Structure 1
Amino acid sequence: MAEFLGAIGQNVILMSALTAWFTAQVLKTITSFWKQKAFNLERLVGAGGMPSSHTSLVVALASAVAFHDGLRSPLFAVAAVLAAIVMYDAAGVRRAAGKQAKVLNKLVMELRVHHTIRDTRLKELLGHTPLEVLAGAVLGFVIAYGFSRFF
């Protein structure tokens, strides 16, 4: 087990991606605390918020592969396509789903006045604004660059 963990810890590409994800989650928790003046532990693992941790992870992954194997590497092509899909999903599909959840939650609240509807609140913070995705991308790139230079 120790040998396995040691090998994982020496994988610069994997460590770049995981560090970018973890850093984004911590920053997301801090920005949430700053905006709302209350600590929300769910922000440490939840989706949505500033910066996008999914974007940070996949951009760090693609960038680390590029720094390690070069831009012509087939592995970089796979990682870059994956990053594009994740970023599109974060700023497009998941953001739209969050907006729809907000509208549905308002409708349910209005209908509860006239009908007996169980309180089933949908999660609204699912996706990201383009700025949150951009911030995640920059963070992921910077962390991958740092790992490529210093490890």
Structure 2
Amino acid sequence: MNTPLEDLLGNRWLWTAVFASTSAQVLKVLLILLMEGRWRPAAFMETGGMPSSHSAMVAALTTGVALTQGLGSPLFAVSAVFALIVMYDATGVRHSSGMQARLLNELVEELRTVVREGFAPQPLRVLLGHTYLEVLVGTLLGIGVAGLVFQVL
């Protein structure tokens, strides 16, 4: 019988999901370097951007469950519903929040020109959510990572 720590460390589904998410974050930093020509390792810890690490994580988890438990299993159903909620949230609520933050930041900048000293609110984070393409690429990355881990390794 395994100890709880051995069970945790040996949980392929968990570590595959974490690896897929980490891979997406590394890819995000590399894409910034490739597309913008600047090294920005801080992007590794940011939400939003290409590809979606949240989508990669839940897609890897769901794919791992599908490959080991089957598409008809209750665990697959739970994982798939969870993945759909996360992806919907990334493109819907969180993306809208980012657009609202951008607009509010623009309004604050306009107010700075009108209001006297002392008006200096902190800008809101703009890049919170994802486009459909970012979620799609994250999803494909997660499926690919899980396919490799559960079919090859």
Structure 2: how far apart are the matches of 1:29 and 1:4?
Answer: 35
Report the equivalent of 2:133.
131
Q: Percent identity among equivalent residues?
A: 44
Name structure 1 gaps, 5 residues minimum: none
Report the equivalent of 2:73.
73
Secondary structure of the structure 1 residue equivalent to 2:123:
coil
Structure 2: how far apart are the matches of 1:44 and 1:4?
Answer: 30
Does the CA-based 8 Å contact 1:47-1:126 persist in structure 2? Answer: yes
- C-alpha RMSD of matched pairs (Å): 1.4
What is the TM-score when the length of structure 2 is the normalising length?
0.91
Report the equivalent of 1:24.
24
Report the equivalent of 1:120.
122
Matches within 5 A, 1:1-150: 6-115=6-115, 116=117, 117-150=119-152
**CA deviations over 1:59-104 (Å, ceiling 9, x no partner):** 1001100101111111111110000000000011111100110011
Q: Which amino acid aligns with 2:100?
A: Q
Does the CA-based 8 Å contact 1:32-1:49 persist in structure 2? Answer: no
Structure 2: how far apart are the matches of 1:80 and 1:62?
Answer: 6
Secondary structure of the structure 2 residue equivalent to 1:32:
helix
- Once the two structures are TM-superposed, the CA of residue 40 in structure 1 deviates from its matched residue by 2.1
Structure 2: how far apart are the matches of 1:44 and 1:64?
Answer: 24
What is the TM-score when the length of structure 1 is the normalising length?
0.92
Q: Which amino acid aligns with 2:94?
A: R
Structure 2: how far apart are the matches of 1:36 and 1:95?
Answer: 22
**Length, aligned pairs only:** 149
